[in-house]
Structure 1
Amino acid sequence: MQQATNPSIRRRLLVSLISTIVVLWLISAYFVYLAAYHEVEEIYDATLAQESRILATLMLHEVEEDNEARMNLHKIVQELGEDFVNRSFALKHFIDEFMADESEKDYLTMVPRERETGHRYEAKLAFLIKGTNGRTYLRSNLPATFNTFTEGYNNQTVDGKLWRMYGLKEPTGQFQVQIGELMSVRQETVSEIVFNSLWPIIISLPMIGLIIWIVVGSGLKPLHTIADKVEHRDPKSLESISTQNVPREVVPMVTSLNSLFYRVQRVLENERRFTADAAHELRTPIAALKTLAQAKSLADEGNGHSKFLDQVIRGVDRATHLLEQLLMLARMDSQSLEHSHVEDVDLHGETINVLAALGSLALAKDIELAYEGIERPVMLRSYKPGIQILLRNIIDNAIRYTPKKGEVCVKLEEHNSTIKLIVTDTGPGIPEENQQGLYQRFRRGEDTNIQGSGLGLSIVKRIVDLHHATIEMENRNDRSGLNISVIFSRHFA
């Protein structure tokens, strides 16, 4: 759950890089749009001007031909005379038709557009050629009308639509040309240019994200490698991590870890050295104090001082036991089960030996000390001194906390690839909420009248951890008492 809530470097880089790419892409799209719009404006405006000049040139040719034809026809009428023209009905009709005032009619008429064969942009282009005398020479076959003439470029709104216009006055002053196109044509063109330029980027964006995800994952691989090294190393292994083939960006982190390992190792060594040295230094004066107290007790026998001296001797015994436990704990803390320490140990034989050694302690309290289970050698790959200390501490605790005339039973069981050691007593038991705390150093049960140092179970827990075993503690269901089970794996090493 913790990992799910922690921020991810890969996700952060992916989001940052994709966001940056998208922002840059949008900025690029904006400038591409401006550039495309400007170029389209230039091209379309140039096209409008060119088309207006072409139309003006063509229309000027038509008007000049028309004027020349009228002048020639007028000369013919003068040469023939009006009487001759009037006598010829057909000639008279032709001349009247040709010379008639048709200012109300267009000089030329566009061929009707066939929508099926025309271009879709055709309906968005319009033009008007109008003479200075008010006559319309040519207009596009569109309903749009341009009533206002403005020379040069301008924008006009006609029937609710925006048009881009270009107005041209014919140099001779006979007519003027207006040509325009809907602004939507330009918008469509710009949109097409921008989209066609940027759609490859849009389509490739998921691919870019996938590539970034893979590349970032590859770049973070050294971090995962170092994390695996730290995670799978033995808790007691404080050797430095090699910086060989480690990326420069990761070297400071590895260096800091190595510095931390070194400082922790120094602290642990100082603690172990202090514990061992202090215990060793105290053993001699305490032993001397006990000897003096015993000698004094024998010398003063019958003088009433024996009770006081017995208390002194018991206090010295407790201090001696504490020192022995401290020395044992220091040795266990400094141990790591290397292959050179591991051997085949007969767990059954060691259990019987410890029971025999503690028999006098059980006999002194009239406690029935029994063994049940396997009656043959049970070989276990383990650290022999550690197994002996574990058995002694668990059984010794059971005897100490079991009242007089109680029972302590030790049992060995085999289950497939595991071996289970069970120690059962008839003592007061331990409340469940206090059981885990007893594995801590100097934590004792509720009965403080029992002699002890509070280190026995912490030493047992350390030995259990060294053997990659598990320890379980539970109160008995049938009566008061405690069950302690240690489960070993045959192949832990």
Structure 2
Amino acid sequence: MQQTNNPSIRRRLLISLITTIVILWLISAYFVYLAAYHEVEEIYDATLAQESRILATLMVHEIEEDSEARENLQRLVQELGQDVIDGSASFKHFISEFMADESEKDYLTMVPRDRDFGHRYEAKLAFLIKGVDGRTYLRSNLPTSFNTFTEGYNNQIVDGKLWRMYGLKEPSGQFHVQIGELMSVRQETVSEIVFSSLWPIIISLPMFGIFIWIVVGSGLKPLQSIADKVKHRDPSELDAISTQGVPSEVVPMVVSLNTLFHRVQRVLENERRFTADAAHELRTPLAALKTLAQAKSLADEGDGHQIFLDQVMRGVDRATHLLEQLLTLARMDSHAMDQSHMEEVNLHGETINILASLGSLALAKDIELAYEGVDHSLKIPGYTPGIQILLRNIVDNAIRYTPENGEVWVKLQEGDRDITLHVLDTGPGIPEEKQQGLYQRFRRGEGTTSQGSGLGLSIVKRIVDLHHATIDMENRTDRSGLRVSVSFPKHQL
């Protein structure tokens, strides 16, 4: 058996689930990034504002202490007098140094950053405290220069880098504080938060895939179990598979298999019955032919010679007709017609042709064969040879079972959705309780003397089913006889 690369349910589920999970994780990571970035912005902005106020508070305290010290020193000089100060060179030098104008120098100087024990983020933070007179009170050790003061939060590009700034004016108006932070600090923080939240999931993804593979494989075991049961079944074992313990998702497949088994079993039974009935029906004309041949071998040629030949011919005709019907039924049973067999069939034209071919048979029994229908063509989707066989068998049966000097009417009636063929005869009719049985193979009406195989209506019923049509049989109410009606859909189902 040729091996094909059939799609795997397990692989498809694994890929679908992993893909869905990854997409959901990426979406979650995006929203985590947005939420983390917002929170980091809030926290860092709040930190900038708080640090600027701390620096302003400390600087105010430092300036107040410096001013108070200067005032106290001036009072001391006034109390001691200039003579006392001039008498002490050290005291005079101290006073001159303390009271000197140092406006061009920074008021305070930051302790240099310790590269060994400092933090790497120190190089990404900077501040500047500057008085209204332009004097710098305190600045960070970075060479970054904040030349533009803007009160509140703002973004500035300094030395080609983006900084997040906060500007604060001291309430008394002596100075302002400007503190900044590189925006890259925030980006790094957010990235670390997102990565820290996602890396356990990323690492567990292969393990999750293995887990899905195992779980899906376990879930598919019932399918494999059913496949094994079907595989190891004996060809003659067509009993239904039990649905007990089968998962609900698999039950429809098991039900479909059981339906298939039932149909196969029914087909096999029909074939066995068909074979037995065919053997029986063929045995009868063949045995008769053999008997006639044996009788002829014992008789002298004379007047019985022609009678013998006539009987042989009738026996051969019956066997030939039976074989033709058997072959037709075999073709109808061999396959259900698909789209390639379907074509547009002119039901009006085919009916006229069949009536013309059976005219001699009706004429031999002095039967009036009439047709009533539309003048234009009535087309249906169908299988032309099958439609011809159906028409021939129904009309032929009507003629055969109608006594001499009887009547047979054929009528086509067009409806909105279908076209109906009616065939009426003046024969003896069929009891209602026995009508359905006539569709079985080798079943014929009781009390009939006409020759036949009993396969005609069985073939008709098969053709009706293949065309998704319906057939109805009923005794006439206006007089003796039978009405057979076949309705064909106008459009293909």
Check whether TM > 0.5.
Answer: yes
The reply to whether residue 51 of structure 1 matches residue 55 of structure 2 is no
**Cα shift at 1:285:** 3.0
Q: State the shift of 1:263 in Å.
A: 1.3
How far off is 1:279 after superposition?
1.0
C-alpha distance in structure 1 between counterparts of 2:79 and 2:16, whole Å: 93
Equivalent residue letter for 1:124: K
**Which amino acid in the other structure matches residue 138 of structure 2?**
L
Change (3 A) 1:300 1:102: farther
Tell me the secondary structure at the aligned position of residue 150 of structure 1: coil
Deviation of the 1:90 alpha carbon? 3.1
5+ residue gaps, structure 2: 327-493
Mapped to 2, the partners of 1:57 and 1:273 lie a distance apart of 111
In structure 1, what residue type is equivalent to 2:187? Q
Partners of 1:159 and 1:118 lie apart in 2 by: 23
Residue 151 of structure 1 deviates from its aligned partner by: 1.4
State the partner residue of 1:395.
Answer: none
1:21 equivalent to 2:21? Answer yes
Per the alignment, residue 79 of structure 2 pairs with: 79
* Alignment correspondent of 1:40: 40
**1:88: how far off?**
4.2
Measure how far apart 1:255 and its partner are.
0.8
Gaps of 5+ in 1: 327-493
Residues 172 and 100 (structure 1), Cα distance of their counterparts in 2 relative to 1, 3 Å cut: same
- Counterpart of 2:39, as a letter, is E
Cα RMSD (Å): 2.7
Tell me the amino acid that sits aligned with residue 70 of structure 2. R
Letter in structure 1 aligned against 2:170: E
Per-residue CA shift, 1:68-94, capped at 9, x if unaligned?
A: 111112222333344554454433332
Paired residue for 1:180? 180
User: Residues 308-332 of structure 1, C-alpha deviation per residue, up to 9 Å, x if partnerless?
Assistant: 98xx79x98xx89x99xx9xxxxxx
CA displacement, residues 387-425 of structure 1 (integer Å, 9 cap, x when unaligned): xxxxxxxxxxxxxxxxxxxxxxxxxxxxxxxxxxxxxxx
User: Structure 1 CA distance, aligned partners of 2:23 and 2:163?
Assistant: 34
Q: Secondary structure at the match of 2:120?
A: coil
Is 1:295 aligned with 2:285? no
Stretch moving more, 71-80 or 113-122: 71-80
Aligned to 1:167: 167
Q: 1:126 matched to which residue of 2? A: 126
Equivalent position of 2:401 in the other structure: none
C-alpha displacement at 1:302, in angstroms?
Answer: 10
Helix, strand or coil: the match of 1:179?
strand
Q: 2:42 and 2:2 mapped to 1: Cα distance?
A: 61
TM-score, scaled to structure 1: 0.60
- What is the distance in 1 between the residues matched to 2:170 and 2:282? 124
* Distance in 1 (alpha carbons) for counterparts of 2:4 and 2:143: 67
> Which residue in the other structure is 2:260 paired with?
260
What amino acid does structure 2 have at the position aligned with 1:126?
Answer: A
Give runs of aligned pairs for residues 251-330 of structure 1, distance below 5 A.
251-300=251-300
| Residue deviations 1:186-225 (CA, integer Å, cap 9, x gap) | 1111111111111111111111111111111111111111
Displacement of 1:236 after TM fit?
2.5
What SS class does the counterpart of residue 168 from structure 2 fall into? strand
- The letter of the residue matching 1:286 is L
- The corresponding residue for 2:441 is none
Q: 3-state DSSP class of the match of 2:252?
A: helix
Q: Deviations over 1:158-202 (max 9, x none)?
A: 111111111111122111111111111111111111111111111
Distance 2:223 2:234 in 1: 19
Q: Does 2:233 correspond to 1:233?
A: yes
Give the secondary structure class of the aligned counterpart of 2:294: helix
The alpha carbon displacement at 1:156 in A equals 1.3
The within-5 A match list for 1:279-428 is: 279-300=279-300
- Amino acid in the other structure paired with 2:209: G
**What secondary structure sits across from 2:130 in the alignment?**
strand
Percent identity, aligned pairs only?
Answer: 84
Instruction: Call closer, same or farther: CA 1:2–1:108 in 2, change over 3 Å.
Output: farther
Shift of 1:8: 1.5
SS at match of 1:31: helix
Amino acid at match of 2:5: T
1:139 aligns with 2:139: yes
| Deviation of 1:10 (Å) | 1.2
> What does residue 210 of structure 2 align with?
210
User: 2 CA distance for matches of 1:191 and 1:282?
Assistant: 91
Cα distance between partner residues in 2 of 1:48 and 1:149: 15
Q: How many angstroms apart in 2 are the aligned matches of 1:28 and 1:4?
A: 40
Matched, 1:5 2:5: yes
Aligned length: 316
Amino acid at match of 1:25: W
